Amino acid sequence: MSVRLAPTVTPDTQFFWDGLREGRLLIQRCVQCGRLRHPPRPMCPSCNSLAKDAVEASGRGWVYSFVMPQHPPDPFIEGRYVVALVELEEGVRIVSNLRHVDPDDVTIGMAVEVAFETFDGDVVLHQFRPAVLL
C-alpha cells in the first residue's frame, strides 16, 4: 500500500477530512447567500458571512487544468503522476491527483469522478479517475 503525507487539519477544514473518511466529498456553503466555496475558509468571499455549512458533492466533474510534476521527485509517489484542478459539476474547483489513467491520456475537459482512497498510515484522500460513462 502506498503512503501519503497526512493533511494538515484545522477547525475550518475538519468537516472536509471527516467527510472523506465517510466516503463523502463535502463542499463548504455560505448559509446566508448559498455560495459554495473550496478550499474551506472562515468567511464568505461574496457576502462576508461567517455562517456556513456543507453540502455533499456528486463527485463528478471535469479536468480544468493539470500538470505532471517532474522535479523534485515526490518521495511518496513512484513514476509519473498527474496533479489536476478538477471543476466539480457544482461549480467549485478542487486540486487532486488523477489516478488509474495513463498521464499521456489526460486531456482538458476529460470527465472524471471522485474515488476515496485509503493510504498507509490511515490517510483517506479524494482522488479522481476517468468517469465511467453509462
47 binds Zn ion (CB under 5 A): yes
CB of 40 to Zn ion, least distance (A): 14
46 binds Zn ion (CB under 5 A): yes
Binding residues for Zn ion restricted to 6-45, rule: CB under 5 A: 30, 32-33, 35, 44
CA-to-CA distance for 2 and 11, rounded, in angstroms? 27
Are 2 and 119 contacting, i.e. CB atoms less than 8 angstroms apart? yes
CB of 39 to Zn ion, least distance (A): 16
51 binds Zn ion (CB under 5 A): no
Amino acid letter, 9: V
CA-to-CA distance for 18 and 32, rounded, in angstroms? 24
CB of 76 to Zn ion, least distance (A): 37
| 45 prior amide bond cis, ω within 30 | no
Residue number with CB closer to Zn ion (27 or 30): 30
DSSP assignment of 87-111: EETTS-EEEEEE-SS-GGG--TT-E
Name the segment binding Zn ion (CB under 5 A); options: 21-29, 47-55, 74-82, 92-100: 47-55
Phi, psi torsion values for 87, nearest 5 degrees: -95, 115
Residue number with CB closer to Zn ion (33 or 68): 33
Residue number with CB closer to Zn ion (30 or 82): 30
Q: Which residues contact Zn ion by CB under 5 A?
A: 30, 32-33, 35, 44, 46-47, 49
